[in-house]
Amino acid sequence: MKIKNSVRAALLTTALISGAVAPAFAAGGGAAASMADQAVATVQKATGTGDIAGASTTGSVMATDRGIVTVTTPASAEGRVSVAASDGSAVTMALPAAVDAAGSTSAAGTTVYPNAAAHTDLATQATVDGGARALVTLKNADAPSTHRFDLGLPEGATLIADGAGGYDIVMSAGGAGAVARGHIDAPWAKDANGKAVPTSYKLDGHTLVQTIETGPDTAYPVVADPHYTWGIITGTVYFNKSETKVIALGGSVVSWLPHPAAEVGGRSLAGIAGYAVATDQCIKFKVNPGLAPLSPSMALAGSGIYGGSAGDGYCR
């Protein structure tokens, strides 16, 4: 999932390590160790190791300026990746495994599950931004190009397309609107030569479906990933159609936004919301992480229009 530079800068440079993944590689482990070594080398060539939380025998606890985020990667491929916030809420993700392959963890912190699906290795990484990465490695052209990642969301959470190929994970913003508390990054995929392979998401309920568009010129293996974060307010609040209409008519829906009549540079919040109403869309704002009151200029600079045609149901 993407995290703003300001949030990255706020992360502490030290991480507390604890949790529940499989042991690190043992020297001279035979064929199984060789497969794991190869799987790790392929994945870490694609991702690098600079943003991976250090290796552990369980998960990683990251301290941020807005609380503790705990990332746990599973001991086997049929387990679930978990990112938990300091309030106890968590977003989990199931891997697209066909068999319950045991995981092995590299020194850098990548856990691999070799041959967990047909012609496919799986892997997980805790990342230093307080997030988790799930990776699929298509080993050859016979590997499936579509993979399904079932999401476990807290009660009341939903997904809203961010317009850039990813999704915000949102919760109620205290009476009106929905605030993004997590994010699923737009997907990426790379072939063996480091060339980008086209890939995209769609939603099937709460299942994230990733399609990787391989072709005759694709060099295998291909590595692709969903990456997500949870528990860190990312700074976007979404309003539904009825709330957008109230703003368009000059009404206030929450105390932490300036009055809709506020105008900067010839634009007003009410005017932006009016355009959204006229085009059957909704309005969104960038906000301070703590939902502190915004100045008119900040609210206007961060405002925008979004719709409900990309798999989310909040603009209704």
Q: What is the pLDDT of residues 146-201, one digit of tens each?
A: 999 999 999 989 899 888 899 999 988 766 888 889 999 999 999 999 999 999 99
- Strands, E assignment, 118-242: 120-127, 131-138, 146-152, 158-161, 167-172, 178-184, 188-190, 199-204, 207-212, 222-225, 227-230, 236-238
Query: Which of 13-27, 64-78, 165-179 is least confident?
Result: 13-27
pLDDT for 232 beyond 80 = no
Q: What is residue 234's predicted lDDT score, i.e. its pLDDT?
A: 67
pLDDT for 11 beyond 60 = no
* Mean of the per-residue pLDDT values of the chain: 84
Are the beta carbons of 29 and 22 closer than 8 angstroms?
no
pLDDT for 22 beyond 80 = no
Using CA atoms in the order 99, 118, 120, 18, what is the torsion angle rounded to 10 degrees?
A: 0
Q: What is residue 103's predicted lDDT score, i.e. its pLDDT?
A: 94
Instruction: Identify the helix (H) or strand (E) that includes residue 276.
Output: helix 269-278
**Overall pTM surpassing 0.85 (yes/no):** no
